[in-house]
Amino acid sequence: MDLTTLAGQQAAIFQQNFTKDEAPLSFAHTNALLAHPELHPPLMLHFWTADQTVILGMQDLKLPQLGRGLRVLASDGYGFFVRNSGGLAVIADRGVLNVSLFLPNEDELSINGAYELMTQLFRTAFPSLPIATTEIVHSYCPGKYDLSVRGQKFAGMAQRRNRAGIVVMLYCSIFGNQDSRCALLRRFYHEGKAAASSHFTFPVIRSETMTTLSDLLGRSLTLEQATVALLNALADTGIAADMNSMPTLLRDPAYHKALTEATADLHTRNRSLKKMGEHDAI
């Protein structure tokens, strides 16, 4: 399957900007939408940003000295929470655009096939870049479907699915100090004693393996410009943008109930993490 097989359909579009304290709501929305496909259109694109937040993966909870690592993040002014998708930490800030592509699972779309749809969206949006999909080993949160150009990663993906639907979640560094982002997570893993783990492997992060879309394009690129490029790519493949469905859904009492439940689940999952990061900075 490629995006052209979805031509003629509409994709519901919604955009959100979260403060550092609100950042977990981004995944509460994702979880609520995935759990209740009966409430929303089958094809959706969710764009969101969050202020200075490290989004941990489940594997990060296995760090030998997780509390010390969390205090590094807190001392640098970053919030943090753990998501229930993807394995390792990524950074959200005002230079990072997060994109979630919701797809119906009725055609038994493969895991790799779903990743390819997101990849095609970015290749169509930024045709001047020779975007490759391969694991960039020394990036943060390395994965098989990292998006890179000439060995430098600018985006990474994770995926969740159930019988009714699929969501492909991508973060993309649009602009900002990528070296600083790498350095923060390098310190997180160092203080968390990642090298001492005997059962789990954590990334050895090298700043030169990561970059931003702005640097790759050789020009300043805003979040708004990147979003427009992706929406234009949808249109180029014959998919119309539906800007009206999601605002109505977000006001629906049934969706509000689903979101409240998903938020409570995230809060429970993260309660102990918050306490671990509240000690004095190291």
Q: Which residues are catalytic?
A: 141
Cα 68 to chain centroid, rounded:
24
Token readout for 204 is: 């050895």
Query: By three-state DSSP, how is residue 177 classified?
Result: coil
Half-sphere exposure of 11 (CA within 13 A, CB side): 26
- Phi-psi sector, 232: left (phi>0), alpha (psi -120 to 50), beta: alpha
Q: Are the CB atoms for 144 and 135 separated by under 8 Å?
A: yes
Using CA atoms, how far apart are residues 104 and 208, in angstroms rounded to an integer?
37
Q: Is 280 helix (H, G, I), strand (E, B) or coil?
A: coil
What residue type is assigned to position 139 of the chain? S
